Chains A and B, each alone.
Chain A
Amino acid sequence: MSTTEILFWFLSALAILSALMMVTSRNPVHSVLWLILVFFAISGHYILMNAQFLAIVNMIVYAGAIMVLFLFVIMLMNMNADTEPQKNKWMKMAGAVASGSLMLVLVAALRDTELRSKGLEGAEGSIGLISQLGKVLFTDYVVAFELSSVLFLSAMVGAVLIGKKN
């Protein structure tokens, strides 16, 4: 096995195990920490696929900003494993079976897709670099970029309006 294959399997196992731990851990703070680990594993995958800019943005925005926001809210509400509401056993089992069935169907449907493409890891091309992405972002997609700034402004105003005491 080459180094990239070992890295792929390691990061995939890390992502799936952390995701399972996130869903199953009773303490919400532990869930947040496991989810941060998932995001780091996905960032590792981005780096393997030569998408450096997205890897860094994923780490800063998701693992940094968004998960800290979650952590703040959870600690603000003083949640722990004792206050965690639990669904009954049968509901949990039904949820697991439902999602497992979806996974079974998707895997069965996609199992016979062509293996023609070669490995996606490697340093070919430079589309993941910030210079290339920035050039396209500020020429072809400048309207979407400006619209997303308006979206952020409205989200900020909305969060303040919803969050303030009346």
Chain B
Amino acid sequence: MADVYNWQLGRTIPYPYPEAHPQKQFAAVFNINRCIGCQTCTGACKATWTFSRGQEYMWWNNVESKPYGGYPQHWDIKILEMLDAAQQKTGKPAQWDTTQTDAKKPYGTYNGLTIFEANDPTQQALGYIPNDAEWRAPNFYEDTSTAYKGDNLGISTEGASLPEHQTWFFYLQRLCNHCTYPGCLAACPRKAVYKRPEDGIVLIDQSRCRGYKKCVEACPYKKSMFRGTTRTSEKCVACYPRVEGNDPLSEGVPMETRCMAVCPGKIRMNGLVDIAQDGSWVESPQHPLYHLVKVEKIALPLYPQLGTEPNIYYIPPRWAPRAYLHQMFGPGVDQALERYAAPSRETLAVLQLFRASQKMVFRYEIQEGPLVHEMQIKGKPWQMYNDTVIGFDSKGREIARLPVVEPIHERPKERLNSI
């Protein structure tokens, strides 16, 4: 066991292998607030990778309705319950110490047990294998909200209002987190799971896998899946041919994955961030992911307390109960929501870059525009400027140029009714 530094937890955790970080890390930001639950991402992934025999139940990308939905069913509640049972044995509560935060520990320090600490000593990590029935209904509880607390007729006299809706649900978009300290990689007794040094993508070597399902058991996000026809486990490959720039459309530059690129709600932004030798993100203020995750901190890791340092970041839904969001995204939730509700001039421009190109944006520039709107948000003045954001690919070529105010095109009178 080695001690490795997990910046999301602000402390070191035990891990079977010593720290060794990739040069770049595959990462993404998902804006939950914008998701319409259309499953286009899910279908795009399915149509690209998992349409074959033995993969029928596999959804490397899925969108589940929280709080009840889950694929496999109740995956998060189950692992949290197991974690909690181990925590209870210590006699101490799992807590975040947020009194001290800095660049090395932006969310403070988590003192609870991770899956690498709560495990039985006979195993590398805490986990379980969901059975086939649990994987069978990937969208069970779709659009199911929490109980309605209205009058007898089911009519609310007050309606719903922020900051927290009484009756709520939200969509959670999930794929492999290509974790910094993957549970799957830790658990494989034959080192068939590896993390690529060039982009941090986590893959299962299909020639070495013997179908032990230790990765299925140890991945807390349940994104390793067993294929009954080849008797090996498979997982999200982060569309690596696209990330490598080998897709015919990509012109040799890294391209977003299929699930990211098809998103009609424009909720996803996918990219590669530079990683320093100590595992921290290399300071690059004009990288959109760096801006959202590290500068503004409006995008947060999913269940950071599990300990694997996941690399998909979420802008939390504004209307969900804070306690639920704290459990899911850690203590950064309040600040993230505050900043998202009244975004800075720069953040508002960066948010326009979501889904502006299939190619990954490595750098942005902002051209300042005029003040177009002034208002009060939570009693504080807020201004909106029609700035223009320009995105550049890995070779520094412009791939996107968008104003903050979406241009309106009025159809001329003579074509009012034409298609």
A binds B: no
Q: Tell me the A residues contacting B by CB distance below 8 Å.
A: none
Q: Tell me the B residues contacting A by CB distance below 8 Å.
A: none
